[in-house]
Structure 1
Amino acid sequence: MDVEAANLTLKDLTSPPPVMPWREFANWIRMPDDHPTVWGWIRNGYIPSHKVGKHVMVNVSLLTSQLLEKEWLL
């Protein structure tokens, strides 16, 4: 998928939901054809998640705050 053709809106970038189902999260980060990779990230603990019943929910709020806390060295 071409990232430039994703047609992101300002709303998409500034108001993510606090949690979302993991497949919806994979689509939201523009990886609809690579769900196994996203599931691997969740399974290995790279993406914060929580199981609710039979559903695995990604904690988007926690992921966002973790990323903002990181110090990026160029």
Structure 2
Amino acid sequence: MDLEESNLTPKGLLPTPPVLPWREFADWIRMADDHNTVWGWIRNGYIPSHKVGKHVMVNVALLTQQLLEKEWLA
């Protein structure tokens, strides 16, 4: 796939912070139309998260590390 075909905006090319609010994470992974699925992943422990006050934050740094470790083990 060509970069022009992917419809990425300059904002989509910025580095990701280590944590994101879970809805922003869902938008970032292009699941904006299916927030309930992402919430289910978080609730079932498939995506590392942490509650800060009343906000649920996705630990993007830990998720990235886990995915990279899986790549090496495969």
TM-score by length of 1: 0.80
Cα offset, 1:8, TM superposition: 2.4
| Runs (5+) with no aligned partner, structure 2 | none
Change (3 A) 1:10 1:66: farther
Q: CA RMSD in A?
A: 2.4
| Runs (5+) with no aligned partner, structure 1 | none
Instruction: Report how many residues are paired.
Output: 70
Q: Which position in structure 1 is the counterpart of 2:67?
A: 67
User: How does 1:41-52 map onto structure 2 within 5 Å?
Assistant: 41-52=41-52
Q: Which position in structure 1 is the counterpart of 2:31?
A: 31
2:19 aligned partner, one-letter code: V
Structure 2: distance between partners of 1:6 and 1:30: 12
2:70 aligned partner, one-letter code: K
TM-score by length of 2: 0.80
The C-alpha deviation readout for 1:19-45, integer Å capped at 9, x for no partner, is: 010000000000001000000000000
Q: Which position in structure 2 is the counterpart of 1:22?
A: 22
Percent of aligned positions with the same letter in both sequences?
79
